[in-house]
Structure 1
Amino acid sequence: MTTARDTYLDLLKELVAIPSVSAKREHLPEAAKRIAQALTELGGETTVDDSYFAPLVISQFKSHKADAKTLIIYNHYDVQPAEPFDLWDSDPWTLTERNGHLYGRGVDDDKGNLTARLTALAEYLDEHDRQLPVNILFVIEGSEETASQHLDDYFKKHPEIQGDLIIWESESKDQNDRPIISGGNKGIVTFNLKSKTAGIDLHSSLAAVVNSAAWRLSQALASFFDQDGHILVPHFYDQVRKPNQREKALIAALPETKNDFIKKNQIEAPLLADKRGTDWKQALYFEPTLNIEGITTGYQGAGVKTVLPAEATAKVEARLVPGMDPDDTLKAISDHLAAKGFQDIQVEKTLGQAGYRSDMTDPEIKRVIRLSQESSGKEPIVMPSSAGTGPMNYAFEATHAPIVALGIGYPGTLDHAPNENIHLKDYDENVRFVKAILESYQ
């Protein structure tokens, strides 16, 4: 007999095989169509809106209760690129089981989280004569890995997306197997900087009189920071919404130590927080960042080529905390460059979205926290925000519902990296947890 678990692990295998990489805009309609088919087969009233390059899947499961609350379940079907392929121990586009783990691109982020939730819903429906005590509204997008482009437009097109609580895409366990419940994430603005100092690459002997684009861009980038990594851009911090005392206390209570953090991330340089004399946890979760993702310029081949580069480009990002507007932040950076004499540096915005933090004392979130402890037998770690980025603010602005994230990951999941994986036991535990959430509304 085929179980719901078998059905949706087979679906996960199908979804992992679809290389739905939003950065390349590949295979997104294919993934959306397959997910919509699965939701419809489960009994959902399903719509696929393909107004933009990444279709949005909406599927509603109605309760038999007239006064039922509504849970919005948010997931995404796009994934990060799988390169470099040679660092994978198995094909990233083939779901592979080894030693109690499942491997494949998207197995945690985020296709496995989606199929775990579908498993929980299917099992609940089977066990309760297809009767739900709560309305469920799936909202599944295809551009989360590229700053959720057009998700705000989709929300505007679909004002019917309303609910009492949003169950967010994913979370994990900590190194002590305690579940993590979080309620926020940072925003982001990404942009390219370009310097051009000549029409062609020049002989490097001309460096006596000509500034190379590489030096020019490096000088502009260096103007962003002091020696301790503090961001020197005027007005960069003006919009930052400071955490309240409860939020600070929740982060302070996180069990990870500084040595754990350094070891886990194989860090060899001094922590910037130590250089600034600030607490590393508070900085990680509550401070904005300005980071150079990559620099391209000059000759990169074997041997020596004595060239003075005519062009240099940098990919840069700023992680934003709640209160910070992506466009205002980028304007502050552009104004700073101009004030420092770098008017010639071209600034091109690529992506942007604001950050968000839930009130972790909201009754609906407290329900989830309580059920997490009852389901796992362990007190969950509660975080008002993660250090990463996501489109929670779009969802909150559209619905004004509290948001809480929970998921199937663990510290060795390797999201976005080669050999992304999950523990099958964590997957099964998450299915039971989501079922407990549904049952709590009876």
Structure 2
Amino acid sequence: MLDSALNFARNNRQSHLSGLCDWLRIPSISTQPEHASDVRAAAEFAAHYLRDMGMSKVEIRETKGHPVIYAEWLNLQPGTFNLPTLLIYGHFDVQPTDPDEEWTRPPFEPVIEGDNLYARGASDDKGQAFAVLAALESYFNAGGKLPVNVKVLLEGEEEVTSPNLFPYIREHVDELKADAILIADQDMLDPQHPVIMWGVRGNLYTEIEVRGPAHDLHSGTFGGAVDNPFNVLVHLLARLQDEKTRKVLIPNFYDKVEELYEEERALISQAPINDQVGLYLTGASALGGEEGYPLAERVSVRPTLEIHGIAGGFTGEGSKTVIPAKATAKVSMRLVPNQDPEEVFESLKSFLESICPETVKLDVRIIGRAHAVKIDYKSPEVQAAANAYEQGFGYKPIYLRGGGSLPIVDEMIKALSVPDRDIPVVMIGFGLPDDRTHAPNEKFYIPNFYHGIETVIHYLEIFKNI
């Protein structure tokens, strides 16, 4: 059945690409209320595809926000009760398109140029999710069944931190039980270096607000009489990080940060991630980051602090001499295993309160949080993915810890693990670092799409025998 599934995938590449393009035309932007119907349309598209291919149960289920899709195919034939069960996770929502003026192609009208497919969601995550679904379709068309039991969970709120998926998982633990979880929502280093992620960083996203006068004031009349909230805010932000070493200065921030084992450090150092690559990918004139650690570690296994935006006052054209009533900053911290987002938040809040002058009011709020995760890369389920990559792409994978955050990973491990054994989470992906995910002109490298389908076909066959 393996060979027949591979043949089907290779003979139907254009059909799979066309199906992906149809999905990409749906502007399923989860963070914008005006696109709620589009998020639902994207769910309906995926559900229709799953039903047509042969999944025995496919349901669109409601949450307090956007819907989720649950599908399953369980082989109940005599002699097949010991087949392992794989839970597949993906998402069908996408990021907003702004700044729209920087798109050189319509974000929701897929365009193929050379080997690249341009559209919002092409790489994150519709393209990668569709590759997994196309692998399932290939098996159904090859033999009318799958080699293992499969459950599929697709959501429409990943880009807004999955607020309603977490309670859904907790309420459906028995239904979602599986022997392993497969997630395809990652980048490769390049087409010759597939990646297995054996961990992701956590995240603490905060909003810091400084309030001064009751309303905006004329700086000529009141300058020197009150503290400007912007002046105070930038001083507070500057105290959060050492200007030379780039160490985070929040008290106790590093207390629970674990250092790498030598074997782990050697594993990460195998990746061709160096300063030259960093300069090429970022376009920066020079690299920054925490002193004392190579780039490959700074972007994956070390905690960071970033300011994402500052709002308030006057930013229009021309001049307006105003002392704003308030100033707000968005600040996040990428966290590593053992750093608890709640504990870090309390340290941040206490530190800012201790250095904030009494002339203003300070409010520090949590916008979002996620725990870091580290996975046993030696587990048979993960090693099966390494084998599948070799078959699908022709290259051995690199093992990395991801710099981004996937809150769903920690949630699934907590909810679906059994006593004394965490459920294995296999994190693979077919994107590339220059796919411009979350940015204008997002793309997906089409050969990776085809090789990704074949990789998942191989993974299901290998997983069957674990």
TM-score clears 0.5: yes
Secondary structure of the residue aligned to 2:395 is coil
Distance in 2, Cα, partners of 1:270 & 1:172:
21
Is the 8 Å Cα contact of residues 95 and 102 (structure 1) preserved in structure 2?
A: yes
Is the 8 Å Cα contact of residues 161 and 368 (structure 2) preserved in structure 1?
A: yes
Superposed CA deviations along residues 168-227 of structure 1, whole A, max 9, x for unmatched, are 132233246221121221121212111111122212233223210100111111121122
Distance in 1, Cα, partners of 2:115 & 2:130:
17
**AA aligned opposite 1:58:** Y
Aligned to 1:413: 435
Q: What does residue range 1-400 of structure 1 map to in structure 2 within 5 Å?
A: 4-25=12-33, 26=35, 27-44=38-55, 45-63=57-75, 64=77, 65-127=80-142, 129-159=143-173, 160-175=175-190, 177-205=192-220, 206-227=222-243, 228-273=245-290, 276-341=291-356, 344-383=361-400, 385-391=401-407, 392-400=409-417
Structure 1 position 404 matched with structure 2 position 412: no
Aligned to 2:420: none
Distance in 1, Cα, partners of 2:372 & 2:320:
45
Secondary structure of the residue aligned to 2:48 is helix
Cα separation, partners in 2 of 1:173 and 1:281, compared to 1, 3 Å: closer
Secondary structure of the residue aligned to 2:47 is helix
Distance in 1, Cα, partners of 2:392 & 2:49:
27
Stretch moving more, 400-409 or 113-122: 400-409
Aligned match for 2:457, one of 435, 438, 441: 435
Superposed CA deviations along residues 309-334 of structure 1, whole A, max 9, x for unmatched, are 22111111111212222222211111
Gapped regions of structure 1 (runs ≥ 5): none
Distance in 2, Cα, partners of 1:41 & 1:223:
57
Distance in 2, Cα, partners of 1:90 & 1:176:
24
Stretch moving more, 167-176 or 141-150: 167-176
Stretch moving more, 229-238 or 5-14: 5-14
Distance in 2, Cα, partners of 1:235 & 1:150:
32
Distance in 2, Cα, partners of 1:349 & 1:56:
26
Distance in 2, Cα, partners of 1:174 & 1:278:
20
Is the 8 Å Cα contact of residues 4 and 119 (structure 1) preserved in structure 2?
A: no
Distance in 2, Cα, partners of 1:9 & 1:244:
43
Distance in 1, Cα, partners of 2:192 & 2:218:
58
Is the 8 Å Cα contact of residues 101 and 421 (structure 1) preserved in structure 2?
A: yes
Distance in 1, Cα, partners of 2:147 & 2:246:
51
**AA aligned opposite 2:444:** I
Stretch moving more, 48-57 or 427-436: 48-57
The TM-score, its normalising length taken from structure 1, stands at 0.94
Is the 8 Å Cα contact of residues 9 and 115 (structure 1) preserved in structure 2?
A: no
Superposed CA deviations along residues 383-405 of structure 1, whole A, max 9, x for unmatched, are 1x211111211121122321122
Superposed CA deviations along residues 142-161 of structure 1, whole A, max 9, x for unmatched, are 11112221222111011121
Is the 8 Å Cα contact of residues 63 and 164 (structure 2) preserved in structure 1?
A: no
Superposed CA deviations along residues 257-302 of structure 1, whole A, max 9, x for unmatched, are 21211221112245223xx233332222111122110001221122
Is the 8 Å Cα contact of residues 203 and 368 (structure 2) preserved in structure 1?
A: yes
Distance in 2, Cα, partners of 1:100 & 1:59:
32
Is the 8 Å Cα contact of residues 83 and 148 (structure 2) preserved in structure 1?
A: yes
Q: How many residues align structurally?
A: 438
Secondary structure of the residue aligned to 1:140 is strand
Superposed CA deviations along residues 325-374 of structure 1, whole A, max 9, x for unmatched, are 22222111111112223572111221112121111011111111122123
Distance in 2, Cα, partners of 1:19 & 1:48:
18
Gapped regions of structure 2 (runs ≥ 5): 1-7, 418-422
How far the C-alpha of 1:71 sits from its partner, in A, is 1.1
**AA aligned opposite 1:41:** D
Q: Between the two proteins, what is the percent identity of the paired residues?
A: 29
Distance in 1, Cα, partners of 2:392 & 2:356:
59
Cα separation, partners in 2 of 1:74 and 1:48, compared to 1, 3 Å: same
**AA aligned opposite 1:56:** V
Secondary structure of the residue aligned to 2:299 is helix
Cα separation, partners in 2 of 1:154 and 1:221, compared to 1, 3 Å: same
**AA aligned opposite 2:456:** V
Secondary structure of the residue aligned to 1:323 is coil
**AA aligned opposite 1:394:** E
Secondary structure of the residue aligned to 1:437 is helix
Is the 8 Å Cα contact of residues 71 and 165 (structure 1) preserved in structure 2?
A: yes
Distance in 2, Cα, partners of 1:209 & 1:92:
50
Distance in 2, Cα, partners of 1:10 & 1:319:
37
How far the C-alpha of 1:6 sits from its partner, in A, is 4.4
Is the 8 Å Cα contact of residues 8 and 118 (structure 1) preserved in structure 2?
A: no
The TM-score, its normalising length taken from structure 2, stands at 0.89
Distance in 1, Cα, partners of 2:95 & 2:163:
15
**AA aligned opposite 1:146:** V
Is the 8 Å Cα contact of residues 146 and 351 (structure 1) preserved in structure 2?
A: no
**AA aligned opposite 1:54:** H
**AA aligned opposite 1:28:** V
How far the C-alpha of 1:67 sits from its partner, in A, is 0.3
**AA aligned opposite 1:185:** V
